[in-house]
Amino acid sequence: MRARRGTPEWKARVAEGRRRAGEARRRERAYRRELLRVAPSDLLALASGDFDAVRPELMPLVEAGADEAAALLLALGGTQNASPQRTIAAQDFGRLGAVLRGLLLRWAQTNDPEVASRIATIASARRGLLALVGLDEHRTEKSLEEYLRERAAQTSAGAAIDAEAVPQAAPAAEAAPCGDGTRDDGGQEPAS
């Protein structure tokens, strides 16, 4: 027989049910947090490229890094047109991207300044790799006539800029003495 609503027995049963449900929710949240936790061993596996050692929960980090490397290789003209050095740099860029994402998750969990320093280091290394492979490089095939036409346009534009009035430095004879044996233009004062 059930207790009537509002009685002390009923209130105790409801309180016990809520306590059990709360404990179950807390256990479930802790379990999910642990699954998404990026452990130092995961970061080592990401950095080494041993993706078999990475937990399945962290595979999206690896896949995002691989996608970045593929996009960079595609921008470089594909694996057939990219040099082996650029291919390796693009693969390293992808690996560093996976590690960077892992470190960002780790920093969000711990707010550790040492992890933040590692993040800055890896971001800098990624910028260096982009500079190495040619961050702004856009190659297009042009005929000789197109190239000469563009070059002539650049040269005529440069000549127009050179023709504008540009302030000139004072001639050496008009340079004022500084009093320490030199003139304003860097020359020596005449001996008196």
pLDDT tens per residue across span 82-93? 888 888 888 888
pTM greater than 0.75: no
Half-sphere exposure of 129 (CA within 13 A, CB side): 24
Domain range summary for the chain, segments of one domain joined by +: 1-36, 40-133
- The torsion angles phi and psi of 188, rounded to 5 degrees, stand at -95, 145
Q: What is the model's pLDDT at position 186?
A: 56
- Residue-wise pLDDT for 20-63, tens only, equals 888 888 887 776 666 556 667 776 776 676 667 777 777 888 88
Q: Which residue has the tokens 């260096």?
A: 128
Residues whose CB falls within 8 Å of the CB of residue 43, separated by 6 or more in sequence, listed in order:
99, 102, 103, 106
CA gap 86, 129 in Å, rounded: 9
CA gap 130, 96 in Å, rounded: 12
